[in-house]
């Protein structure tokens, strides 16, 4: 990840081979499933925020799209499952945090 400070405006860039950029893939999967009217996931917020994040962090997913062109139905399921697992993990974490005394 590169960080170039320009006064108060930070500019970030991610390489898709970096662990940080792979976190965009479940969000992309959620947005793609929503765009194809999938019964698995409907996440209008993912559709709204994904282009903004891709632009802000300069993540180019076109390479991934080209490589997966013939496997997109399978990949939708994979990314959806990953997103679902991520959601459950976050929900579990939040519930445990609420139970802990400050």
Helix 72-99 to helix 24-35 angle (10° resolution) is: 120
- What confidence category does residue 49 fall into, taking pLDDT thresholds of 50, 70 and 90? very high
Residue 53 has pLDDT above 50, yes or no: yes
Q: In Å, what is the CA distance from 45 to each residue of 5, 58, 60, 69, 88?
A: 29, 19, 20, 24, 18
Q: Does the reported pTM lie above 0.85?
A: no
Arithmetic mean of pLDDT over the chain: 75
pLDDT band, very low/low/confident/very high, at 4 (cuts 50, 70, 90): very low
**Predicted local confidence at residue 98, as pLDDT:** 67
């Amino acid at each position: 990840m590169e960080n170039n400070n320009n006064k108060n405006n930070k500019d970030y860039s991610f390489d898709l081979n970096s662990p940080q950029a792979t976190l965009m893939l479940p969000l992309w999967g959620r947005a793609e499933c929503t765009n194809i009217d999938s019964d698995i996931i409907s996440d209008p917020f993912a559709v709204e925020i994904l282009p903004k994040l891709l632009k802000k962090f300069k993540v180019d997913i076109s390479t991934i799209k080209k490589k997966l062109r013939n496997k997109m139905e399978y990949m939708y399921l994979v990314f959806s499952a990953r997103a679902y697992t991520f959601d459950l993990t976050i929900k579990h974490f939040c519930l445990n945090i609420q139970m802990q005394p400050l």
